Amino acid sequence: MEGESENGLSEPSTSEVQAEELPRELAEKVDKLKQKCSGLNSLYEADPSALEYVKELASGYFPLEEASTYWSRPSAFLRESSEIERRMDRTLLIVYLKKKFGYESFLEIGCRTDSNFGRVPFVDKVGVDPVAGGNVRLTSDAFFATTTRSFDLVFIDGHHEATQAARDAANALRLLAPNGTLLVHDCKPLFESEAQYPMPAGCVYWNGTVWKAIAHLRTFVDVDVATSNLDWGIAVVRKRPNSNPIHLPNYLDLTWADYERNWVDYLNPLSLDDLDAWLNKPPDPEPPLGPRLLVPAYAAAPCWLPPPVPPLPPSPYFPGVLAPPCPLATLSFANAADLAPAASPSAATK
């Protein structure tokens, strides 16, 4: 029998012999590597201590350059934050949520360079972009019109126009699995030039009017919204009673002056620790009285959205690619299918 000597006594395995022969310094490195691998495996199991795990990762982590740039801007909208939060970015926030809830499936809208999509630790992940990146070459409208599967975690970083961002969020919530989470990027602009649509000439950093869509979501009583202060503002949306709904006129009429006065109400910004407590909070049994987003008919006829806006100039973010926002109801399954990329010759012969 392997592992036993002729006298019947167990012999050490090959791995044990090798471990004993390793120099002390190298053995310590091997142990640390094993611990890191163990931590990665635990991402697939819900862990209430996820925040501490991610804080430890962030201490030696190099965030995306774009996320680091955010904290260097001289803006009154930057709140005091810990060093850990300044080292966080969208990818680490996704890792945190994956570990906290044991999420297994991931959808990203707007991938372009794959700077985030290529790093998130999901096997089951779908990335949608009409130009580049991800693994589905469609507009978000076309994708949502033809998709029925659910996702645990959705990250939206697509067309930075308020109506489109609101529709992407509503459609993502329709596909969100029970106890799932929606994230919306670029919702905390720091300067007026960065909070406009379309992108002004000469603007280097740009959030567009996504912040208006987040303010819009805050008015519904059946979805709860908070915003993480890191990486240009990342809204966190859960399907549960709204803990503090706000009242607004048409969100498309909001101005930069409105944002300057009311951004805390519009975004509900939270530190990383406060966000963890917000996620842990048990939901109220019933939402308060007010407008509801998650109603059965909204996907077919989104009456909660304003009428289609007049044609807009091409977006510098998606030059010549994305048409102006249109009601989801006008996008039939037939013409959505026409937008699907044709199979390549190699794929057809397999």
Enumerate residue ranges in the chain where pLDDT < 50.
1-20, 297-350
**Is the distance from CB of 229 to CB of 90 less than 8 angstroms?**
no
Predicted pLDDT at 91: 96
Predicted pLDDT at 286: 77
Predicted pLDDT at 315: 36
Which long-range CB contacts under 8 A does 287-290 form with residues at least 24 apart?
287/221, 287/222, 287/241, 287/242, 288/221, 288/241, 288/242, 288/245, 289/221, 290/219, 290/220, 290/221, 290/242, 290/245
CA angle 93–97–102, rounded 5-degree value: 150
Fold category of 47-341 in CATH: Rossmann fold (3.40.50)
Predicted pLDDT at 301: 34
Predicted pLDDT at 37: 52
Spatial separation of the C-alpha atoms in residues 120 and 59, rounded to whole Å: 18
Predicted pLDDT at 5: 42
- Residue ranges per structural domain of the chain: 47-341
Spatial separation of the C-alpha atoms in residues 145 and 159, rounded to whole Å: 17
Spatial separation of the C-alpha atoms in residues 86 and 69, rounded to whole Å: 10
CA distances from 50 to 37, 56, 90, 95, 179 (A): 16, 10, 15, 9, 16
- Residue that the structure tokens 């904290």 belong to: 71
